[in-house]
Amino acid sequence: MARFAQNRSLSFEAAVAHCEVFVLRHLASLEMDGHHQKQKNKYSIIVPTYNERLNIGLIVYLIFKHLGPDGTQDVVKQLQQVYGEDRILLRARPRKLGLGTAYIHGMKHASGNFVVIMDADLSHHPKYLPSFIRKQSETGADIVTGTRYVKGGGVHGWNLMRKLTSRGANVLAQTLLWPGVSDLTGSFRLYRKSVLEDIISCCVSKGYVFQMEMIVRASRKGYHIEEVPITFVDRVFGSSKLGGSEIVEYLKGLAYLLVTT
């Protein structure tokens, strides 16, 4: 029986700087049962969103299309209820900023023993969820991470400069950190809930350095990590998000990880 967790919320996260900056994030999580021969696993899907509430409906539909049970009527009804849910204000601890607090908040409401984290802008397609689950079942992995840089994976909508930047960043990280996974900054992953709680409690970075820190720390702690090829379709063609300050932040994060892991 699929059900929505009644945890639609609005969380205020404070960025500590010369002045406080409030970032509004929405968080939606879905829980559904996955039946397997040996045991019954429960999967919670966390989708951190920021001004993307209209994409949630599309994502929910696609998730249930590829994973869900037959009771789509209940799904839509609860979807409507979720959208009308009262918002809950939450003040996160200042030490944890950005995506980390969204994940932590999602984990509080996640009752599954496995947690999937994916983006809300549909650059991550829910059709890969079955292959994540299958890979985890076959290998008993603690983490299954989506990778765009192997055969079967790929990207669309990236111009040459973005590809060059991505490759350069990846080569640099691979050379310095030797992490054992090919896509360090991808955020489409399946975690054991206990593993996610363990890792997230010691991650402090922000942005996509946060994703890199998660997977590097998991590798250092000896967790079993497997990879599944995914495609990344950028719906806003050609708009590169990387500027000079992003590169500087990335290099800082890389140096931090090099020294602390």
Positions that interact with another protein (CB under 8 A): 54-55, 57-58, 61-62, 65, 76, 79-80, 83, 122, 125, 127, 148-158, 163-164, 167-168, 170-172, 175-178, 220, 231, 233, 235, 258-261
Q: Return the number of the residue (55 or 137) whose C-beta is nearest another protein.
A: 55
Distance CA 121, CA 206 (A): 19
Q: Return the number of the residue (28 or 79) whose C-beta is nearest another protein.
A: 79
Q: Which of 52, 24, 190 is nearest to 120 (CA)?
A: 52
CB of 229 to another protein, least distance (A): 8
Which residues 6+ apart lie within 8 Å of 231 measured at CB? 125, 148, 153, 154, 155, 156
Phi, psi of 197 (to 5 degrees): -60, -40
Q: Return the number of the residue (53 or 134) whose C-beta is nearest another protein.
A: 53
Q: Return the number of the residue (103 or 232) whose C-beta is nearest another protein.
A: 232
CB of 163 to another protein, least distance (A): 5
CB of 233 to another protein, least distance (A): 5
Do residues 250 and 169 make contact, with C-beta atoms less than 8 angstroms apart? Answer: yes
Q: Token pair for residue 34?
A: 């996955």
**Amino acid at residue number 2:** A
CB of 137 to another protein, least distance (A): 25
